[in-house]
Amino acid sequence: MPTAARPPLRHPLRLGVNIDHVATIRNARGGDHPDPVRAAEIVARVGGDGITAHLREDRRHIRDADLRRIQEATDLPLNLEMAATEEMLAIALAHSPHAACIVPEKREERTTEGGLDAAGQHNHLAPIVARLSDAGIRVSLFIEPDARQIEAAMRLKAPVVEFHTGRYAHVEGEERAAELRRLADAAALAWKNGIEPHAGHGLTYDNVIPVAAIPQLAELNIGHYLIGEAIFTGLETAVRRMRDLMDEARG
Ligand code: PXP
């Protein structure tokens, strides 16, 4: 019997561009410029594979109305990052994004500072994952690259996990090498069990290649650094450069 929908080991690595921080800059002045929709259109034009947007509880960057506008502006799949709350579930069901990535969310944090405790929150997450899946939305869980969390994702029947690369990005030397091994082992374990592994957080031109070289990874979601680089070089150049580095990593 063939195993579950396991992708071929070497498959193209997709780039999802997180456009939240275009909205952060827009919101700093309370107007409508710069518009994250324009960023989504540029990403589509230069060969990005998806748009990622995190609708936070406090709406500090992406806002409700942005979601529909992004969906209408491009054909790229929308990956909606969301906390596991009834409010966000209702919004996801109303918008039917291609994917919903469930992330832990604390109002006081600057960004998503760690992975979801899928193992500890099974009972809370199970109905949310089921309702999203029943609606045809591809559920991803943003977890640490950790066997216990992958096993929890399997029990939750999540088709995708995204590994939090924040720790990899923030440590150096031997510690970074150890984190990279942890990511590679986790990607292999997820893949072996029919779960599609993605990765993201804190990825830059300088640190993306070793992660992109992990053969089981199918998608990287990258935001803050690309939007920061876009200030200096333009978003088109920044996305193309990241794409080139990812392609280089895959040989
Ligand atoms: N993936 C997920 C699930 C995230 O929450 C974030 C940050 O919001 C990213 C990817 C992108 O991280 P960064 O902005 O550091 O590239």
Please identify, by atom number, the ligand 1 atom nearest to the C-alpha of residue 101: 3
User: What secondary structure, in 3-state letters, does the chain show?
Assistant: CCCCCCCCCCCCCEEEEECHHHHHHHHHHCCCCCCHHHHHHHHHHCCCCEEEEECCCCCCCCCHHHHHHHHHHCCCCEEEEECCCHHHHHHHHHHCCCEEEECCCCCCCCCCCCCCCCCCCHHHHHHHHHHHHHCCCEEEEEECCCHHHHHHHHHCCCCEEEEECHHHHHCCHHHHHHHHHHHHHHHHHHHHCCCEEEEECCCCCCCHHHHHCCCCCCEEEECHHHHHHHHHHCHHHHHHHHHHHHHHHCC
Determine the distance separating the centroid of ligand 1 and the alpha carbon of 17, expressed in angstroms. Answer: 9
Q: Is 201 a catalytic residue?
A: yes
Query: Tokens representing 119?
Result: 């193992």
Query: Tokens representing 85?
Result: 């709350």
Cβ of residue 163 lying under 6 Å from some atom of ligand 1: no
User: What secondary structure, in 3-state letters, does 16-31 show?
Assistant: EEECHHHHHHHHHHCC
> Which pLDDT band, with edges at 50, 70 and 90, does 166 fall under?
very high
> Which pLDDT band, with edges at 50, 70 and 90, does 1 fall under?
very low
102 and 63 Cβ atoms separated by less than 8 Å: no
Please identify, by atom number, the ligand 1 atom nearest to the C-alpha of residue 103: 3
Cβ of residue 202 lying under 6 Å from some atom of ligand 1: yes
Cβ of residue 229 lying under 6 Å from some atom of ligand 1: no
pLDDT tens digits, residue range 41-96? 999 999 999 999 999 999 999 999 999 999 999 999 999 999 999 999 999 999 99
Give the rounded distance of the alpha carbon of 68 from its chain centre. Answer: 19
Q: Is 81 a catalytic residue?
A: yes
Q: What are phi and psi of 38, to 5 degrees?
A: -65, -40
> Which of the following is catalytic: 54, 61, 164, 198?
54
- d(CA 176, CA 179) in angstroms, rounded, equals 5
Cβ of residue 233 lying under 6 Å from some atom of ligand 1: no
29: Cα within 13 Å, side-chain hemisphere: 8
- d(CA 34, CA 197) in angstroms, rounded, equals 32
Residue 85: partners with Cβ closer than 8 Å, 6 or more residues away: 57
Rounded to two decimals, the pTM is: 0.95
**Ligand 1 site-directed mutation target among 221, 222, 226, most atoms within 8 Å of CB:** 221
140 and 102 Cβ atoms separated by less than 8 Å: yes
**% of the chain with per-residue pLDDT over 90:** 90
pLDDT given at position 109:
73
pLDDT tens digits, residue range 226-244? 999 999 999 999 999 999 9
Cβ of residue 219 lying under 6 Å from some atom of ligand 1: no
Whether 107 has a pLDDT exceeding 90, the answer reads no
Residue 24: partners with Cβ closer than 8 Å, 6 or more residues away: 60, 61
For atom 1 of ligand 1, the residue with the nearest CA is 200
Whether 154 has a pLDDT exceeding 70, the answer reads yes
Please identify, by atom number, the ligand 1 atom nearest to the C-alpha of residue 221: 10
Region 173-200 average pLDDT: 98
pLDDT given at position 7:
56
pLDDT given at position 2:
44
- d(CA 157, CA 233) in angstroms, rounded, equals 41
